[in-house]
Every structure is written in C-alpha cells, then in structure tokens.
Amino acid sequence: MESTSPYRIPGMELIDHSFTLPLDYNDPAARKIKVFVREVRDLDPKSEEKPLLLFLQGGPGFRAPLPIKKEGWLKRALSEFRVLMYDTRGNGLSTPVSHQTLAAEGDAVEQADYLKHFRADNIVRDAEAIRAHMSPNEPWSTIGQSYGGWCTTTYLSLHPEGLKECFIFGGVPGLDRTAREIYEGTFPFMEERNRQYFEKFPMDKQRLVKLCRHLQQCDVRLPNGDRLTPRLVQLLGMQLGFAGTAEALHYLVEEAFVQVGGEEVVSHTFLKGVQTSLRFDSNPIFAILHEAIYAQRAATGWACDAVQKENYSHYDDYENFLFYGEMIFPWMFDEIGELREMKAAADILAAFDDWPELYDKDVLSRNKVPVACAVYYNDMFVNTRFTRETIDFVPNMQGWYTSEYEHCGLRTGGEKVFSRLIDLARGEIER
C-alpha cells in the first residue's frame, strides 16, 4: 500500500491510498493492477479512530464520488465513520479501462479475456485485499449505490466475514434473474416513463419527430465527429430515471434547431448537450460490461437488443418517437466512436457462456450481516419485484420501501435516507 500524507479541503481531511493487486485472483503471482481508494475524514481530532465505511459506486464503470462538500449522506457518514471512496478496478485513478488502454491489450480475444476480470466478484476480492491492509482485525461497513448494491450482495456471498453492516441504495439484484428477464421488466417501465414525459411536454413529440427526419436526411455531426442518429437521441431517455432530469431533457430538446442564414440547422448547443449526456466514451465499462453484470453460467446474447426487436419494434418508428432507458445495444459499438474499436470484444463477451456465479444462495440463506436497503417504487433502473424477492430470501436483509425518491435518493435525500437505513440496520426502527 502506498499512501499520501493527509491533506485538507474545507471541513475534511483526505488521504490517498494505492494498492497493487492481482488482475486474476486465480493466478495472483501474475499480472498486477492498481486500485485507488481515497480516505475521507472529518476534522475531529479523534477521526482516525473511527471505523471504516467503504463506498461501492454505481454503474458499472464509474469512479467513486469526489468529496467536495461535507453535506448529504457524506456529512452523516463522517459523524461516525472514516469513508473510503473506492475507485473500483477499471475506473478513476485505479488502472483504467478506456478505448486508449484497451487497445494495448491486443486483439479482440485478448481484450475480452482482460475485461472478464472487471465484474463484481473481483471488485469484492479487491475490497477484501484492501481491508486486509486497512482493517485487518475488524469487519467494516459498506454503502452501495445502485450497482454498488449488486457488489454488496456478491460481497455477502464471497466474504461475509469482512462485513459488519451494509447499506444499499436502489441496488438489490435479483439473484437468479437473467439479463433477458431484466430487460423484459425494464421496457414496460420505460413505456410508462415515455407516456409521462410526453404528457408533461407534449410539444416535444413533434420536435423529436422533426429532428429524426432531419437526421435521416442530413449528415449531422456531434462535436467529437460522430454522426448524430435518431437512435443516439433515443439514448437520452436514460436521464428520465433521475429527479428533475425530465425538465432538463425538455430544455435541451427545445433548443434542437437554430436559424442560420434562413436555414434551420441542428444547434451546437443541442449537439454539445447530447455529447455531454452520452458518457459511453469516457465510461466504456458501462457499455461493454453492462449486460455481463447479470450473467451467471450463461451468455447474455445481447439480451436488450433481442427483447427490443421481438417485443418493442415500435421503438424503430421515429414518427412516434420514444426514448430508451438504461439499455445497451450492439449498434452503439458502430455509432459511438470510442466504442467502435471495442465492437469485436463486445460480441465475444455477449456470446461468452461460462461467467462465474456472482451470488451464493446457500451462503446468503444463512446471512447474519445486517443489511438495510432503500427501495424506490418508482426506480427506472432496478426492478422492485426482483428486489423484493431477494430481500424476502436473505435473512437480516430489510427493505425500506418508498415512493418519495427516484433512483438518485442517495444524492437528493442522502442525509435523511442514510440516517433511516442506519437506524433500520441497527434495530432502532422498524421498516
């Protein structure tokens, strides 16, 4: 472990830690990667004596939150914990996966073999290796946001001895649910989100139809050089799963066109907004491993694409424009420049049928670790029915069910929600 000296930002003290860990835990003497953790403390002189709370980020494919202000859930956490902002392998200041670095891994087969090591099982193994350095004699607490809850459930399966208590925000997986089942449950929810959006902003339907006609007739380029297509515009619907983002999407759509010399063209403001919203270029793990997070002993086979083609072909009718949600399609690896060179590796991963199990139901059936979960009835990203199946199955896992928050409850109501989950896990309140 390599660590910096403590340094300060307003209200907090930070220490950066870097760990050299195996790429493949079945061959620990072989290739190594770097994994980064930022320790966050408040300025209490006794903070270094506080227990550790590990943050497991959502995604997959995103770095840990950057501590800027002591507010929300972080403020509540720092009152009794030292918080570890954990850049899981492939992300942030850990050894990254990007279109730049992946190209250096060799051909598509070698790239796919490398990427197979970046799922929740190895995220958990890294965490336990880090705990061996930072909390060798004590289990620690974890907080999992979205996909971080998937990682938490894998942690409970592989290394429950490392866990004291767990808090999950909008991220309890269905233990046996396949990628296809996930998307069969997601599309109906997205149908409803589209209905709600166009009921709220009916003028946008015609705006988007007009835009799609224009994009089919004209070669319109994003600032990065990629051609803007109707399908890329549909991907903006992922924003509809967060509080306030329907309004932001509407304000972007209303700026789609601008008059230039008497001719209507797609505005730079809109093009820049689309490019900024579609983060697959800077977070490629989110695309290339997204369906793989659901895979256990079976291939995903581009499940979302199959469900859309079989049951939701009307999304291809741009005369009745509909947004997609959290959905990954093989055509994205043709239309998004930074993903293009990963296409062959993505196809290999979609066909791979020997993914290890992520959840041990026998271990989970005997769980003793207190787990408190915030479950959002209106969550666009996580199927509440599948979540309830798991909570009902795993002992000592409790759900707080609410319609007050969207998927971003940790961000918008963090201090309140986290306090409630702490009380729930410790038996101070009933769900």
Is the CA virtual torsion 308, 154, 131, 117 positive or negative? negative
Tokens of 96: 């990254």
Tokens of 156: 């409970």
**Rama region for 371: left / alpha / beta (φ>0; ψ in -120 to 50; rest):** beta
| Alpha-carbon gap, residue 242 to 142, rounded angstroms | 23
Q: Which of 94, 141, 146, 157 is catalytic?
A: 146
Q: Which of 17, 117, 290, 407 is catalytic?
A: 407
* Residue 146 annotated in active site: yes
Q: Which of 354, 362, 392, 403 is catalytic?
A: 354
Length of the chain, please?
431
Nearest Cα to Cα of residue 409 among 373, 384, 383: 373
Angle between helices 120-134 and 147-158 in degrees, nearest 10: 70
Tokens of 356: 């290890």
* Residue 407 annotated in active site: yes
| Alpha-carbon gap, residue 57 to 59, rounded angstroms | 7
The beta-carbon contacts of 367-370 under 8 Å, at least 24 apart in sequence, are 367/156, 367/160, 367/394, 367/395, 367/396, 367/397, 368/160, 368/395, 368/396, 369/156, 369/160, 369/163, 369/164, 369/165, 369/166, 369/396, 370/165, 370/166, 370/396, 370/398, 370/425, 370/426, 370/427
10 Å CB burial of residue 51 (0-12, 13-18, 19+) is middle
Catalytic residues: 146, 354, 407
